[in-house]
Amino acid sequence: MKKDEVIRVLKIMFRNKLSLLGIIIILVLMLMAIFAPFLAPYPDQARGEPNLEEKLQPPSSKHLFGTDYMGRDVLSRVIYGARISLLVAIAVVSLGLLIGIPLGLLAGFKGGVVDTIIMRVTDIFLSFPPLLLALLISVTLGRGLENTIIALAVSWWPWYTRLIRGMAISIKEKPYVEVAKSMGISSWRIIARHILPNAISPVVVQGTMDMGSAILEASALSFLGLGVQPPTADWGLMVSQGKGYLLNFWWYPTFPGLAIFITVLAFNLVGDTLREILDPRLRRRFL
Amino acid sequence: MSIEELVKVENLRKYFPFKKRIFSKKVRYIKAVDGVSLSIKKGETLALVGETGSGKTTTGRTILRLYEPTGGKIYFGGQDITKMPKKKFQKIRMQMQMIYQDPYSSLNPRMSILNIIAEPLRELMVKNIEDRVLELLESVGLRREHMYKYPDEISGGQQQRVAIARALAVNPKFIVLDEPTSALDVSVQAQILNLLENLQKEKNFTYLFISHDLSVVRYISHRVAIMYLGKIMEIGMVEQIFEKSQHPYTRILLESIPVPDPKDRKRKKLRLPGEIPSPLNPPSGCPFHTRCPYAKDICSQKEPGYVEVESGHLVKCHFAEMIE
């Protein structure tokens, strides 16, 4: 993307109230994740140290979000949980893009047998419901953060491949690609300089939106006991452990649940606005 | 074949397969170009004129082998390029460039003008690329300040100038101009046409000028070929076509040129009834007989050959030289 276009997009994003809210939330989450040891009132408890004398305390000035069944400060654990969630979001989406974009470009640009092979493979992946596939891989690989990321990324990339293949097919028919070919520009150059820059916008939008979905799915895996393992502070895991306490000790599953909700919402707000700006049909509104 | 002729096409055909019914095995063909023969001399502009769907753009693209021809022969500089292997053809292909109807879609919107023009130069290992780009920009009437802009920041006419500058970068000999001005304002059209004409004089370019606008054609070309349903109906020098046309189709096209004179409205004109027939199911005999005001029985039965009514002036009509 060109430099002034990036600036223009950012300007619009900051002017739009909803996307501004989304950006602020994401920035706050990032700061929270980076400075978790300084922000969390009880960093040791966030890392898993039990504090059994104060278990299941309601929110108070000492424990703003209350404490869990081991007496650990829920606020501290929610702050530390941001680290896991953002890591998962960024890792899953980047891995997905890293696999999905080159394959999609290749399939769309080369066509023929290459296209058929790549697209049939993605079809196999897409024929599974995404969470089910991630679950399956998770079970096969075993528990843990890295395996969760791998499992989600594997079920994620085919969507990007499909998206970018469609764009590549339409762009390779453009006269400027035809001209480049006629001037002896190599296929790699054409893909890198002509196809990719013009095909990337919808994928950027999808990727932003997917950050939220990745957090949600990682939480779902943790909730089912397949993702991050205790005593790591993870939002999905906390909701899972706290669900039995919901009626009597509402704060325990509610605050991590809210954290998931707000984070997913923030990524969606940003992604939505980004789509409206980058979609040429909706562009006029912002010019 | 004389060396004077840079491009020569013999009996060129391009059929596109078309399956109408899902279960029918029989493949039918759209005969977009059906037996076109023409030649263009060095430094000459041949205009290819026809209605929408007459196959003029397909002819241009097939000559550049952007479509593989179904049949016939294409010669460039005396060499048969019809079936030349891709690698060998690539060197020749550089000498044949194309200017498109829509200048915006022929420029990558994510590249600066500098990069758009520099791309082929880098491929050719040109040194001092920036100086060369500036030179090219100036040769099409643009300035240094345009170098750092992007295609959507300049006007349509300027975009077309950039497309021309990029084509010049590879030192072509032959340029196919596919309605290069029809997307532009009338005032800008004239500027681009003048530019193309001056470049031709300067560098001895050979043009194939595809257009449906006869007034533009008269202005820029040396020879004119009139196409209808994939076939050339009449071909000749500009004066022969515009002053002494012998084919009823050409006559009707010429009559349809708007004249800026209100009195002219009262004049009775020949009009063209209906639309161009489907190239999927062309009429028997002369392809034009379904719309021809002079059509006789023979026209629907026998396809006319070419009659040379004057040196270099060919007419595909049974009644050539007889029409008033």
CB atoms within 10 A of CB B71: 14
Using an 8 Å CB-CB cutoff, list chain B residues near A2: 110, 112, 150
Residue B136 domain-assigned?
Answer: no
- B59 and B12 Cβ atoms separated by less than 8 Å: yes
Q: Is B150 in Cβ contact with A193 (below 8 Å)?
A: no
Q: What is the pLDDT of residue B152?
A: 86
Residue B290 domain-assigned?
Answer: yes
Q: For chain A, how many structural domains are there in total?
A: 1
- Torsion angle of the four alpha carbons B281, B285, B289, B290, in this order, in degrees rounded to the nearest 10: -30
Q: How far is A6 from chain B (nearest CA, A)?
A: 12
**Cα atoms in the 13 Å half-sphere on the side-chain side of B240:** 20
Report chain B's mean pLDDT, rounded to a whole number: 88
Range of the domain at A274: 3-286
Q: In this complex, which of B109, B110, B120 lies closest to A183 when CB atoms are compared? A: B120
Q: Is B166 in Cβ contact with A197 (below 8 Å)?
A: no
- A207 and A157 Cβ atoms separated by less than 8 Å: no
Range of the domain at B198: 5-95+172-316
Averaged pLDDT, A198-206: 87
Cis peptide before A231 (omega within 30 of 0): yes
Q: What is the pLDDT of residue B265?
A: 64
Using an 8 Å CB-CB cutoff, list chain B residues near A178: 66, 98
Residue B176 domain-assigned?
Answer: yes
Residue B217 domain-assigned?
Answer: yes
Q: How far is B106 from chain A (nearest CA, A)?
A: 4
- B192 and B200 Cβ atoms separated by less than 8 Å: no
Residue B42 confidence class, pLDDT cut points 50, 70, 90: very high
Task: Identify any residues that bridge with B223 across adjacent strands, giving them in sequence order.
Answer: B46, B237
Q: How far is B94 from chain A (nearest CA, A)?
A: 6
Taken in order A229, A230, A234, A238, the sign of the CA dihedral is positive
Averaged pLDDT, B34-56: 91
Q: 0.95 exceeded by the pTM?
A: no
Q: How far is A158 from chain B (nearest CA, A)?
A: 26
Averaged pLDDT, B299-319: 87
Q: For chain B, how many structural domains are there in total?
A: 1
Residue B113 domain-assigned?
Answer: no
Residue B164 confidence class, pLDDT cut points 50, 70, 90: very high
CATH number at residue B305: 3.40.50.300
Averaged pLDDT, B91-119: 92
Using an 8 Å CB-CB cutoff, list chain A residues near B86: none
Smallest CA-to-CA distance from B120 within B86, B167, B156 is with B167
Q: What is the pLDDT of residue B21?
A: 67
Residue B45 domain-assigned?
Answer: yes
Choose the mutation target among A3, A5, A177, A183 for the interface with B, i.e. most B CBs under 10 Å. A183
C-alpha distances in Å from residue A270, one per residue of A159, A163, A285, B288: 20, 19, 17, 60
Q: What is the pLDDT of residue A287?
A: 45
CA–CA separation, B196 and B198 (whole Å): 6
Averaged pLDDT, A227-237: 83
* pLDDT, tens digit, 9 for 90 and up, residues B172-228: 999 999 999 888 888 899 999 999 999 999 999 999 999 988 888 998 999 999 999
Percent of chain A with pLDDT over 90: 35
Q: Is A185 in Cβ contact with B110 (below 8 Å)?
A: no
Using an 8 Å CB-CB cutoff, list chain A residues near B97: 179, 182
Give the CA angle between residues B232, B237, B241 to the nearest 5°.
65
Q: B187-196: list long-range contacts, CB under 8 Å, 24+ apart.
A: B188/B155, B188/B156, B188/B157, B189/B216, B191/B141, B191/B157, B192/B157, B192/B160, B192/B161, B192/B164, B193/B219, B193/B220, B195/B140, B195/B141, B195/B161, B195/B164, B196/B164, B196/B220
Residue B1 confidence class, pLDDT cut points 50, 70, 90: very low
Using an 8 Å CB-CB cutoff, list chain A residues near B94: 182-184
CB atoms within 10 A of CB B36: 25
Q: Which residue has the tokens 């693209």?
A: B61
Give the CA angle between residues A244, A250, A254 to the nearest 5°.
95
Q: What is the pLDDT of residue B7?
A: 92
Averaged pLDDT, A162-186: 92
Pairing label, strands B71-76, B79-80: antiparallel
Pairing label, strands B231-237, B313-316: antiparallel
Averaged pLDDT, A159-168: 93
Q: In this complex, which of B94, B96, B105 lies closest to A175 when CB atoms are compared? A: B105
Q: Which residue has the tokens 């005969």?
A: B31
Residue B278 domain-assigned?
Answer: yes
CATH number at residue A142: 1.10.3720.10
The residue that leads in pLDDT, A53 or A203, is A203
